[in-house]
Amino acid sequence: MPLRSKITGTGSYVPGTVLTNFDLEKKVDTSDEWITERTGIKERRIVKGTEATSDLCLEAAKNALQAADIKPSEIDLIIVTTMSGDMPMPSTASLLQKKLGAKNAAAFDLNAACSGFLYGLSVADNFIKGGTFKKVLLVGAEVMSRFLDWKDRSTCVLFGDGAGAVVLEAAKGKRGILSTHLYSDGSQWDFICLPGGGSLNPPSSKTIKERMHFVKMKGNETFKVAVRTLEKLVIDTLKQNRVKSSELAMLVPHQANLRIIKATAERLGLPMSRVAVNLDRYGNTSSASIPIALDEVVREGRVKKDDYVLLEAFGAGLTWASALIRW
């Protein structure tokens, strides 16, 4: 039987502070009606005080390890997918390793923005299938609120903070990750970006004055490309695995925009009852959105043994990715 990567535990965590659309009306020139109509978002969770990305990672990881009945010392590898790590170095994965007490694990970060979790899933899957590691902890986590311009109503209403995690283990048989698919188009990098703080535009009075340390986004252009790209992506993923859309038990999309999610579901002929949606409560949590949504549907019993589950995402880079799992 083929060696596969199997998700044996899921977990998630979101901060306790809720920021509603009505709260945002007091911060910026916007309205609950405007945000809801264009995005489907009603509220999001925001960190407070010194709470950082690694802290969110820790709570999500604990929940995933408990679900998998795995001790931290049994983990071979920790991958954290994030664009909002605690600091440029060391990796947030290394900080998580310390907090978790996973003393036997290698650790590194991966950044593919909103597609990050699926990029990380592909990397973990290949490590396991290749025999390099047997038990991998994969965490998608973001503290987007620290990188938002609260004067820019086109971006600050979209994002939230949170973390989701999965434990992957080597297993034989038909169940597990069937395939992963990764794509990128760097020619459209400026559709979504955070231009300040790196080697190109290091921190300076100029970058601060020009507000370069905040997320910038060309919303309309991104929306059009996302809808077109994701429709093709999900169809191609199913075709390559000879699985019909009618056989899908659950679609777990990146939680960016309800209109994009509905368009993808319609393309697959899926009722919304078979689509994981939580962006109304959490907003866009970037690489954390898919693992948070996956954890919810698993714990709600909406995903069962042998079910086909399709994951898909689109984000900065531009990047897009998918994964098909037989649960």
Give the residue from 228, 268, 272, 223 showing the smallest Cα distance to 245. Answer: 268
CATH architecture label of 178-326:
3-Layer(aba) Sandwich (3.40)
Low-confidence ranges of the chain (pLDDT < 50): none
CATH superfamily assigned to domain 3-173: Thiolase/Chalcone synthase (3.40.47.10)
pLDDT for the residue numbered 25: 95
Residues of the chain with CATH 3.40.47.10: 3-173, 178-326
Cα distances (angstroms) measured from residue 101 to each of 96, 114, 140 = 8, 28, 19
pLDDT for the residue numbered 259: 93
How many C-alpha atoms does 217 have within 13 Å on its Cβ side? 21
Catalytic residues: 114, 254, 284
Specify whether the CB–CB gap between 310 and 238 falls below 8 A.
yes
Peptide bond into 203 cis (omega under 30): no
pLDDT for the residue numbered 198: 94
pLDDT for the residue numbered 1: 72
The whole-angstrom separation of Cα 25 and Cα 32 is: 7
pLDDT for the residue numbered 2: 79
pTM, two decimals, is 0.96
pLDDT for the residue numbered 38: 93
